[in-house]
Amino acid sequence: DEELRAGASYSAPIAGNFRQSVQLRDLDSDGVNEALAFFGTGGEHPLRICVYRVNDDGTYETVSVIEGDGTGIERVYYTDMDADGFTDLIVGWSQGSGINMLTVISLRDFVPAKLTSTDYTEFIVADLDGDKRDDLAVVRIDEATQTGAVDIYSLRANDELFTAYAPLSSGLESISKLGVGNLSDGRVALFLDGAYQGGTITDIFTMDNDMWSNITLDKKNNVSSSTVRAGVASYRDINTDGITEVPRPRTLPGNGEVSYRVLDWYSIDSNGKDTFILTTYHNSSDGWYLIVPTDWRGKVTAHRSDLPGEHSIIFSLWNGDSAPPDDFLTIYTLSGENRSDRAGRPGRFRLRVVDEIIYAAELLSANFGWDNEIDENYLRDNFKLIYSDWDTGL
């Protein structure tokens, strides 16, 4: 109230998980929350974070004031990077025109001390070196030259700051997804998806004996060539085994005007070597995907048929260019008032019901008798829904 009466206004962070104007956080590990308030004040340092500690009588007193420059607070993150019992603040200050500055602030004994500051495009906080303490990975991209890097910051004893650098793929235009996952040999890694020449590329970073490196980068052309792909499908743990996989599109056989693709998913080890895991067909427009048998490779094609309230993907046996394909499976996305009636037509069975959508399937005559025949149980076990965060990423 005193800050507001003096002419300040609330300036809450605009991104990240912590966006309230006033936030409660136990900063000194004593079991009692402190309060942090975010203000815009004007003047020489127009941004301010005030930290308040509660007294025994329930009143609050100001114990820290952190001043910053910029047009607003982009985001804030709380973590104890050096395990000293005091929370460190990672604050992103928006400078306008898409430019952001990041500051790491120690709050030991509630005395703010700036440990480092850098510009950034994105950042993420996670234990990337396996020491049970959070590290800070900062991504910077120069959109004009399409070059950039990921810097890692680790705070060690006595506020000693360790930093390391690794380049992004040359030509990466923007970031679409940034996260932490596991490699096939168990090591933790940073995964970054970005736009690249009309498609997507994945850079993967790991720490090994204080060496921070882009393990997928081909040093001949400074590009993670093995992860370049058409479309926007992102890395993820596709089979929920705790290991992150990267997709690689593969076009199905066919002679129509529209090409249909499946995604082959690969796990990556700490040397950048990939291993095939499984194949999926993704129908992003209708919100589902299907794990398809590996033995379908080269034998199956697909096409789409849309009617009002009924969208269909039909899988067919591919008989070559000279003979028509034989349909063996249809997966329906049904909407509208009569969707239940259409889902119950002879031969159809339900796969999922989500809000006002029914997903159903039908096994056709060509399914029965060929080497890779499937049944209802297979479809129910391997039919999955697509969630929006897979595409938006950040």
Predicted confidence at residue 388, as pLDDT, reads 62
Predicted confidence at residue 98, as pLDDT, reads 83
Tell me the pLDDT of the chain averaged across its residues.
93
pLDDT by residue (tens digit) across 183-214?
Answer: 999 999 999 999 999 999 999 999 988 899 99
Q: Please check whether residue 101 is in contact with residue 93, taking contact to mean a CB–CB distance below 8 angstroms.
A: yes
For the segment 304-320, the average pLDDT, to the nearest whole number, is 96
The residues with which 103 forms a beta bridge, in sequence order, are 91, 117
Q: Please check whether residue 282 is in contact with residue 304, taking contact to mean a CB–CB distance below 8 angstroms.
A: no
pLDDT by residue (tens digit) across 228-283?
Answer: 999 888 999 999 999 999 999 999 999 878 899 999 999 999 999 999 999 999 99
Q: Which of these, 125, 122, 220, 206, lies nearest to 169 by C-alpha position? A: 220
- Spatial neighbors of 83 by CB under 8 A, at least 6 apart, are 132, 133
The residues with which 105 forms a beta bridge, in sequence order, are 89, 114
CA–CA distances in Å: residue 202 to residues 54, 131, 260, 275, 339? 46, 25, 22, 16, 40
pTM for this predicted structure: 0.90
Q: Does 393 have pLDDT greater than 50? A: no
Alpha helices in the chain (DSSP H): 2-5, 339-343, 376-382, 389-392
Which is it for the CA torsion 19, 71, 177, 165, positive or negative? negative
Dihedral angle over CA of 191, 123, 129, 108, nearest 10 = -160
Q: How far apart (Å, rounded) are the C-alpha atoms in residues 326 and 55?
A: 77
CA–CA distances in Å: residue 184 to residues 8, 72, 81, 235? 51, 41, 27, 14
Token pair belonging to 39: 């203000």
Which secondary structure element, helix H or strand E, spans residue 358, and what is its range? Answer: strand 357-363
For the segment 32-42, the average pLDDT, to the nearest whole number, is 94
Q: Which of these, 227, 351, 367, lies nearest to 290 by C-alpha position? A: 351
pLDDT by residue (tens digit) across 131-174?
Answer: 889 999 999 999 889 999 999 999 876 667 899 999 999 999 99
97 vs 351 pLDDT, higher one: 351
Predicted confidence at residue 78, as pLDDT, reads 97
Confidence band (pLDDT; 50, 70, 90) for 390?
Answer: very low
Indicate the SS3 state at residue 68: strand
Q: How far apart (Å, rounded) are the C-alpha atoms in residues 125 and 123?
A: 7
Q: Which of these, 302, 202, 203, 206, lies nearest to 247 by C-alpha position? A: 202
Confidence band (pLDDT; 50, 70, 90) for 391?
Answer: very low
Q: What are phi and psi of 343, to 5 degrees?
A: -70, -25
Token pair belonging to 167: 């380049």
Q: Which of these, 77, 67, 86, lies nearest to 104 by C-alpha position? A: 77
User: How do strand 22-25 and strand 9-10 relate by DSSP bridges?
Assistant: unpaired
Helix, strand, coil percentages, rounded to 5, for the chain: 10, 50, 40
Token pair belonging to 162: 């360790």
For tokens 């129509």, the residue is 256
What percentage of the chain reaches a pLDDT higher than 90?
83
- Least reliable range by pLDDT among 65-79, 97-111, 152-166: 152-166
